[in-house]
Amino acid sequence: MRRHRKVKIVATLGPASSDEAMIRKLFEAGADVFRLNMSHGSHDDHRARHATIRKIEADTGRPIAILADLQGPKLRVGQFESGPVDLANGQHFRFDLNDAKGDASRVQLPHPEIFAALQKGSELLVNDGKIRLRVEDHGKDFADCIVTAGGEISDRKGVNVPDVVLPLAALSQKDKADLEFACAMGVDWLALSFVQRAEDVEEAKKLARGRAAVLSKIEKPAAVRAFDSILAVSDGVMVARGDLGVELPMHAVPPIQKRLVRACRAAAKPVIVATQMLESMIENPIPTRAEVSDVATAIYEGTDAVMLSAESAAGDFPVEAVTTMDSVARSVESDPNYREMIEATRSAKRHSVADGIVTAAREIAETTDIAAICAFTQSGTTVSLVARERPRVPILAMTPVETVLRRLCLTWGTHCVMTPRLNRFKEAVVQSAQAARDAGFADETQQIVVMAGVPFNVPGTTNILRIAPCDERLIYSTDPE
């Protein structure tokens, strides 16, 4: 079940992809990570999908990562007395805390935190930004606005406040319950919505207690402004372009995407590019050329993973969507321009022995006849550093820690292999040679690079690099240790 590409594919599960047969087809088509969207479905639904994924994992002998995406606080207007209302450009309209049903002049906005943070001139966006209003006056329980982009407003439409940091925690009570449920169930990654500051991520990590890695969704302008501090405390990042495109001018999103992907790569932390990548495939078996170009652009930028949302969760062609992403990735990665772009954006900063060793491993692999880089890891850090280098050869992530093995399924270029706990470097060389042969990355005539740390089974001790043959007879004849 080796993949013939380096970038990973995240597929969201939902009504169109809940039974074992479909989830298995998605995995066989190329899905490396399955996303459970906690905004939809019950805990029983997610528990059943989790069990199905783990069964497929056991049947195939290949690790699969599971990502639980937390909903985050949802800001919505109240209800209207007589149905939807048309707002015209230049019209005055009020939001307030009054629980009376709305009309053509006002509606409830049951979020006092918004009123506390507003300033004159702030924008309120309704229904994914289709309706825009500018605040003219405000108090602790109201905001009087001018409609700058009109349209139809109706019950429970979502509200975005792009230009202020809201005094809201990223974790609602529902999110905390979902987080505990997901961690107890055994997911590998948690995606945190509504991140505005580093403290939001730290709270989630404190609640997770190491049971799952925490990935920050960058979907608000405040998160973009505070990105460096957010990245420092996050285990990974998702560039959630849908909400970013609502709260920021759409033309601002592509350069932000490029900057965030490069920053994540430099920090050796996985990054997912998400939202509307193959949106037309919800209803059509073939994507648009623009969508294919969008996926390709993210891969050229060096992202670790690309994600399907409604395409695989609720669409008519979930398997075709995964197959399309797989085909685009393989095509891009075979383009000589891809290697030029990846290598031109490689970070030159090196700070540790492990940094030096992974750089040497990549250079050796690219200047000699090396079939693969085999990296032993306890925490996943060594493999992440190797992936940061974006080597031309495959990366075999070797670990005896199951949770680390699954988390690394999200990392660029990794083929994850479960190993027993080892005590000698020679055992690591033998394990590496066997894994490279078994997965079809090398044969007995080829050589591999093996990286490990001595003493074994201690995180952060990467200090050995060896070029080794894949023929075990040569290993034993040349290495008496």
Residues 96 and 238 in one domain: no
Contact 212, 187 (CB under 8 A): yes
pLDDT (0 to 100) of residue 454: 78
pLDDT tens sequence across 9-37: 999 999 999 999 999 999 999 999 999 99
pLDDT (0 to 100) of residue 138: 96
Q: Count how many domains the chain has.
A: 3
Residues 228 and 293 in one domain: yes
The answer as to whether 80 is a domain residue is no
Distance CA 289, CA 35 (A): 26
The answer as to whether 408 is a domain residue is yes
Distance CA 374, CA 397 (A): 6
When pLDDT is cut at 50, 70 and 90, the band that residue 478 belongs to is low
Range of the domain at 463: 353-478
Q: Active site residue: 275, 382, 411, 414, which one? A: 275
The answer as to whether 45 is a domain residue is yes
Per-residue tokens: 207: 């609640």
Answer whether residue 398 shows pLDDT above 70: yes
When pLDDT is cut at 50, 70 and 90, the band that residue 42 belongs to is very high
The answer as to whether 367 is a domain residue is yes
Percent of the chain with pLDDT over 90: 88
Residues 199 and 295 in one domain: yes
CATH code, domain with 396 = 3.40.1380.20
Where does a domain end: 160, 186, 213?
160
Per-residue tokens: 14: 């939902």
When pLDDT is cut at 50, 70 and 90, the band that residue 50 belongs to is very high
Q: Active site residue: 3, 8, 35, 258, which one? A: 35
Can you give the pTM of this predicted structure?
0.94
130, 120, 128, 123: which is closest to 87 by C-alpha? 130
Residues 152 and 294 in one domain: no
The answer as to whether 307 is a domain residue is yes
Distance CA 474, CA 293 (A): 47
Answer whether residue 76 shows pLDDT above 90: yes
pLDDT (0 to 100) of residue 475: 73
What value, to the nearest 5°, has the Cα angle with vertex 174 and ends 195 and 35? Answer: 65
250 CB burial (10 A radius; 0-12, 13-18, 19+): exposed
Where does a domain end: 295, 329, 363?
329
Residues 142 and 230 in one domain: no
Contact 190, 170 (CB under 8 A): no
CATH code, domain with 52 = 3.20.20.60
Spatial neighbors of 441 by CB under 8 A, at least 6 apart, are 2, 371, 372, 394, 396, 415, 448
Q: Active site residue: 24, 76, 130, 134, which one? A: 76
Using DSSP's 3-state secondary structure scheme, residue 107 falls into strand
Specify whether 217 is catalytic: yes
State the amino acid at position 294 in one-letter form.
D
pLDDT (0 to 100) of residue 349: 67
Residues 357 and 316 in one domain: no
pLDDT tens sequence across 311-351: 999 999 999 999 999 999 999 999 999 999 999 988 766 67
Residues 422 and 304 in one domain: no
Residues 290 and 241 in one domain: yes
Residues 361 and 249 in one domain: no
Answer whether residue 207 shows pLDDT above 80: yes
pLDDT (0 to 100) of residue 471: 86
Residues 260 and 180 in one domain: yes
The answer as to whether 336 is a domain residue is no
- Mean pLDDT, the chain, rounded, equals 94
pLDDT tens sequence across 167-198: 988 999 999 999 999 999 999 999 999 999 99
Residues 66 and 89 in one domain: no
Specify whether 76 is catalytic: yes
Answer whether residue 111 shows pLDDT above 90: yes
What value, to the nearest 5°, has the Cα angle with vertex 95 and ends 94 and 96? Answer: 115
Residues 430 and 401 in one domain: yes
Q: Active site residue: 3, 6, 94, 217, which one? A: 217
The answer as to whether 100 is a domain residue is yes
CATH code, domain with 92 = 2.40.33.10
Distance CA 398, CA 4 (A): 19
Specify whether 35 is catalytic: yes
